[in-house]
Structure 1
Amino acid sequence: MNIRPAFSDDCPALAAIDAVSNPSPWSVKQFASALAQSTDKLWVCETDGVISGFIVWQDILDESELHLIATAPEYRRQGIAAALLEHWFRHAQTAGITRLLLEVRASNAAAQSLYFKYGFTAVGIRKHYYSLPEGGHEDAVLMEKPC
């Protein structure tokens, strides 16, 4: 397992992973746009030379907010998301970040469990935050972790 910065050539693979992981996936263009932003950080995990997961966060002053994290289906349950989160935590320590923030779909119990395991606490709900592909909306659970 190797974690490295994302490059523009990675955007199609990132969009493909997000398309099978996220009901509202980012496009190749959105990944490319994030790469162009100085505040956005995109990192990929490679397994045997193949992109197996990614993480996207944004630093704003002394806070860092997770935008996306995903693992390709064939690589799930192998510690990739945990390794990517730990990479984010190490970055936060060296960048003077005092608080980590994220939101997660209320229905995503697996992700919430992982975040709780790593010390995040639920601090609020954003009602009807996520659009659902079949129509309707889903709440977001707001979580934070002090550094």
Structure 2
Amino acid sequence: MTARPDYDSVAVGTVLGPLIVPVTRTDLVRYAGAAGDFNPLHFSDRSAQQAGFPSALAHGMLTMALATRLATGWSGDPAAVCEVAVRFTRPVPVPDDGVGARLDIRGTVTAKLDGRRVRVALDVRCDDVKVLGSAQAVVQLN
């Protein structure tokens, strides 16, 4: 197990990642069931294509949750993430090809805050396209 980062040893500019997270149609079904969000854009290629998208789309909140894995993995404690904020800027198409989509998640510590917390800017891309804007997490450190 990796030791949790210590506030005093973390510097602004510390880089996190990359973390590559696959997103499959099975993930979309599981999330839809957990969230109770059965919008056909998230499971039907026909509905997505009628709306102008190439395939079914990942739920925005699922994309945000997956992006947060970078901070929870780095901190070693999911409860250490105090805040998460994002703007949903681009959809994440998830092809029904047995492979799905791939999120490339990277982060940078941008500030040391009071209370031994740090702000981490998250860069989240799918096929080299930024899918979350102004994405950040605040993480409580030791």
Task: Tell whether the structures are fold-level matches, with TM greater than 0.5.
Answer: no
Greater helix share, structure number: 1
For Structure 1 versus Structure 2, the TM-score category normalised by the shorter chain is: under 0.3
TM-score by length of 1: 0.25
Q: Which of 1 and 2 has higher RCO (CA within 8 Å, sep 6+)?
A: 2
Q: Larger % of strand: which?
A: 1
